[in-house]
Chain A
Amino acid sequence: GAVVSQHPSRVICKSGTSVKIECRSLDFQATTMFWYRQFPKQSLMLMATSNEGSKATYEQGVEKDKFLINHASLTLSTLTVTSAHPEDSSFYICSASPLRTGSGYTFGSGTRLTVV
């Protein structure tokens, strides 16, 4: 089945530093990947759509300069949280679809970011 690998699973960083999160599709190519943010006991909020070889598409209210997305290959997308602040602490999850009929989206295992 389709597998999406996300690293790191947990990260603690100091305020003002940047954190990079990687999302890899292991057994399929993904021209598009999606980045979500999830607060405790809440739904997934789509932050941006990562497009291979072009600029990411950000949802309304998401700061492009704060959440940098790079999709340099068909199997890798990265999300960098720049100048992190405690309010950026959250669960970040990526997803991609192998685009097989009825296959749904495969999610990474998520990254728990804590900014201290």
Chain B
Amino acid sequence: KAGVTQTPRYLIKTRGQQVTLSCSPISGHRSVSWYQQTPGQGLQFLFEYFSETQRNKGNFPGRFSGRQFSNSRSEMNVSTLELGDSALYLCASSLTVAKNIQYFGAGTRLSVL
């Protein structure tokens, strides 16, 4: 069974641009969560989707948004990029809600210049 797939693996953008990251969960998993990892703040929760509905949201500005499709694939979007958005963005999937075991993808490393 394939694991969690995140695309692209690497991205370089400039300030003010927007970016879309994609996450395909493990087959059969319906919950997808997103996390941001930076050297200064560590791993922080962004949001969680289940059955196309956002169930939970972390403490991030409205420039960070996401959605989930009927096949459970999820995208997150960051608009008006800032230098501080440079980070490793990790996606995790679980069978139902996040209390179950979460499995992570390899991440997308975003650099904002």
Q: Do A and B bind each other?
A: no
| B residues in contact (CB < 8 Å) with A | none
Binding site for B on A (CB under 8 A): none
